C-alpha cells in the first residue's frame, strides 16, 4: 500500500513539473511571436487614428510593456491561486471561458473517446484474429485510409453529404441559430452534435485499431495460446486474448486523449461548434495570449491526468504489479 502511495506521489510530482514546463514553453513561444496583438485586434488604421494616450492604455491592456519574466511569474503566482488571467477577446476570466467551452466540448469528446476506443478495440480484435485473411485486409485498408484522411476534410465531406445534399442534419453550431439556450431540447443538441461526434470518433479509431491488432497478433503468437490450443480449450479469444489485450488497450485508450482533443480543434472549427477547440483557434488568431495559455495548460492537464489514470489502473489490474508491490 505504501509502495502504491509513493508511486502515486512520484507520478503527481512529475505531472506538476510537466505542467509547469508546458506553461513556460507555451508562454515563451507566445512571447517570441512577432505578431503584434494591437495590430491584430485593433487594426492598423484604427491605431493610426488614436492618440498616443489611447495607444498607451491599449498597450497596457494587452501587456506589451511588461518584461517577459515578470509577466510569467505574475501569471504563475495568480495561476497557483486559481486565477488564469482574463481573456482579452471575451473579456471574462480565462478559467470561466475554459470551463464553459470545455463543458460544451465535453460530451463531444467523451462520446468520441468512448466510440473510437470501443470500435478500435473491436476492429483490432477482428483484424488480429483473422490475420492475413480478408477481414484483416479490409480493416487494415480502412484504417490506413482513415489515418491518411485529414479530419477537417472528412468533416467537410460529411457536411456536404448530410447537411447540403441530403439536408437531414444541420450545418453546424451546437444549437439552432437564434434559439435561447434554455429552449433547446436534448434532441436538437444531439442532432447538432452528431456529425462532429462522428468525425471526431473516426480520428482516434485507426490508431487504436491498428495497435490493438498488433497486440492481438502478439498474444496469438504466444506460447500460452499455443498451449491453450494444444489442450483443446474453447473460448480462447475470451479467456486468453481479451484478458491479455486488456492492459495494452487501456494504455492506448488513455493515450488517445491528446489526439481526440487535437482533432476537436479542427472538427469544431469546421462545424462552428462553440467548444474548447474553436476557442483555441480564435485565441490564436486573435492574439488572446491568456486564453491560449489557459487552454494549452488545461488540455495538457487532461492528457497528463489520463496518463496518470492509466498508470494507476495498471497497478490495480495487472497482477504482476499488484502482487509484486504487495510482496515488497
Partner 1 sequence: MESILTVEQLSVSFTRYSRGLARTELSAVRDLSLTVEPGRVTALVGESGSGKSLLAHAILHLLPRNAQVSGTLLYDGAPLTRDRAETLRGREIALIPQGVTWLDPMMKVGPQVRRGRVDAASRARCREVLDRYGLGPQVEELYPFELSGGMARRVLIACAVMERPRLIVADEPTPGLDVRTAKRILGHFRELAEEGAGVLFITHDLELALTVAHKLVVLYEGQTVEELSPTRFRAGEGLAHPYTRALWHAIPENNFL
Partner 2 sequence: MRGNRRKTTLLLLIFAAGVLCALSLTGELLAETASAADFSRKNLPPCPACPFGTDWMGRDMLARTLAGLSLSLRVGALTAAASGAVALVLGTAAAALGGWADALISWVIDLVMGVPHILLIILISLACGRGFWGVTAGVALTHWTSLARLVRGEVLQLKETPWLRMSRRLGVSRSALLRNHLLPHLLPQFLTGVILQFPHAILHEASVTFLGFGLPPEQPATGIILEESMAYLTTGRWWLALFPGLSLVLLVVLFALIGERLRLLLSPAAAQE
Distance between CA atoms of 158 and 105, rounded to whole angstroms? 19
Q: Are 27 and 292 in contact (CB under 8 A)?
A: no
Residue 48 binds which of partner 1, partner 2, none (CB < 5-8 A, kind-dependent)? none
Q: How far is CA 271 from the centre of its chain?
A: 17
Query: Which range binds partner 2 by CB under 8 A, 68-76, 177-185, 189-197, 258-266?
Result: 258-266
Kindly tell me which of 184 and 310 has the beta carbon lying closer to partner 1: 310
Residue 176 binds which of partner 1, partner 2, none (CB < 5-8 A, kind-dependent)? none
Taking CB under 8 A as the rule, which mask of x and - marks residues 238-267 in contact with partner 1?
-xx--xx-xx--------------------
Among residues 241, 197, 196, which one has the least CA distance to residue 218? Answer: 241
Query: Which range binds partner 1 by CB under 8 A, 193-201, 219-227, 286-294, 295-303?
Result: 219-227
Task: Tell me if 265 contacts partner 2 by CB under 8 A.
Answer: yes
Among 208, 254, 269, 290, indicate the residue that binds partner 2 (CB under 8 A): 269
Instruction: Scan residues 32-71 and list those touching partner 2 (CB under 8 A).
Output: 32-35
Task: Tell me if 326 contacts partner 1 by CB under 8 A.
Answer: no
Among 51, 232, 316, 328, indicate the residue that binds partner 1 (CB under 8 A): 232
Task: Tell me if 248 contacts partner 2 by CB under 8 A.
Answer: no
Distance between CA atoms of 281 and 292, rounded to whole angstroms? 8
Rounded least distance, CB 315 to partner 1, Å: 14
Q: Which residues contact 109 (CB under 8 A, 6 or more apart)?
A: 200, 260, 261, 264
Among 89, 171, 312, 321, indicate the residue that binds partner 2 (CB under 8 A): 171
Among residues 65, 246, 217, 132, which one has the least CA distance to residue 225? Answer: 217
Kindly tell me which of 43 and 324 has the beta carbon lying closer to partner 1: 324
Torsion angle of the four alpha carbons 18, 23, 24, 29, in this order, in degrees rounded to the nearest 10: 120
Task: Tell me if 91 contacts partner 1 by CB under 8 A.
Answer: no
Distance between CA atoms of 134 and 75, rounded to whole angstroms? 56
Query: Which range binds partner 2 by CB under 8 A, 98-106, 114-122, 226-234, 288-296?
Result: 288-296
Distance between CA atoms of 158 and 26, rounded to whole angstroms? 34
Task: Tell me if 299 contacts partner 2 by CB under 8 A.
Answer: yes
Torsion angle of the four alpha carbons 100, 102, 105, 106, in this order, in degrees rounded to the nearest 10: -110
Q: What are phi and psi of 86, to 5 degrees?
A: -120, 135
Return the C-alpha cell found at 323.
502482487
Return the C-alpha cell found at 272.
462552428
Rounded least distance, CB 131 to partner 1, Å: 9
* Positions that interact with partner 1 (CB under 8 A): 132, 222-224, 226-233, 235, 239-240, 243-244, 246-247, 318-320, 323-324
Amino acid at each position: 500500500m505504501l509502495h502504491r502511495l509513493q508511486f502515486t506521489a512520484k507520478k503527481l510530482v512529475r505531472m506538476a513539473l510537466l505542467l509547469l514546463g508546458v506553461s513556460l514553453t507555451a508562454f515563451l513561444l507566445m512571447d517570441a511571436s512577432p505578431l503584434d496583438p494591437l495590430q491584430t485586434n485593433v487594426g492598423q488604421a484604427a491605431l493610426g487614428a488614436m492618440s498616443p494616450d489611447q495607444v498607451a492604455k491599449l498597450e497596457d491592456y494587452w501587456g506589451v510593456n511588461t518584461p517577459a519574466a515578470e509577466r510569467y511569474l505574475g501569471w504563475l503566482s495568480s495561476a497557483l491561486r486559481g486565477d488564469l488571467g482574463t481573456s482579452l477577446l471575451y473579456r471574462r476570466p480565462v478559467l470561466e471561458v475554459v470551463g464553459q467551452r470545455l463543458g460544451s466540448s465535453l460530451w463531444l469528446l467523451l462520446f468520441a473517446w468512448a466510440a473510437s476506443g470501443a470500435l478500435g478495440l473491436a476492429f483490432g480484435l477482428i483484424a488480429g484474429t483473422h490475420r492475413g485473411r480478408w477481414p484483416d485486409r479490409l480493416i487494415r485498408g480502412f484504417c490506413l485510409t482513415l489515418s491518411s484522411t485529414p479530419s477537417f476534410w472528412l468533416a467537410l465531406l460529411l457536411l456536404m453529404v448530410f447537411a447540403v445534399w441530403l439536408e437531414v442534419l444541420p450545418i453546424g453550431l451546437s444549437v439552432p441559430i437564434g434559439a435561447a439556450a434554455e429552449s433547446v431540447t436534448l434532441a436538437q443538441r444531439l442532432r447538432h452534435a452528431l456529425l462532429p461526434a462522428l468525425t471526431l470518433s473516426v480520428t482516434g479509431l485507426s490508431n487504436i485499431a491498428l495497435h490493438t491488432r498488433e497486440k492481438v497478433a502478439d498474444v496469438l503468437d504466444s506460447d500460452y495460446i499455443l498451449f491453450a490450443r494444444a489442450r483443446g480449450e474453447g473460448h480462447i479469444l475470451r479467456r486468453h486474448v481479451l484478458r491479455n489485450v486488456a492492459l495494452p488497450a487501456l494504455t492506448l485508450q488513455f493515450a488517445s486523449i491528446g489526439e481526440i482533443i487535437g482533432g476537436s480543434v479542427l472538427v469544431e472549427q469546421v462545424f462552428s461548434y462553440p467548444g474548447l477547440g474553436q476557442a483555441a483557434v480564435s485565441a490564436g488568431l486573435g492574439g488572446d495570449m491568456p486564453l491560449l495559455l489557459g487552454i494549452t495548460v488545461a488540455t495538457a492537464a487532461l492528457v497528463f491526468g489520463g496518463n496518470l489514470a492509466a498508470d494507476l489502473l495498471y497497478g490495480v489490474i495487472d497482477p504482476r504489479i499488484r502482487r509484486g508491490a504487495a510482496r515488497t
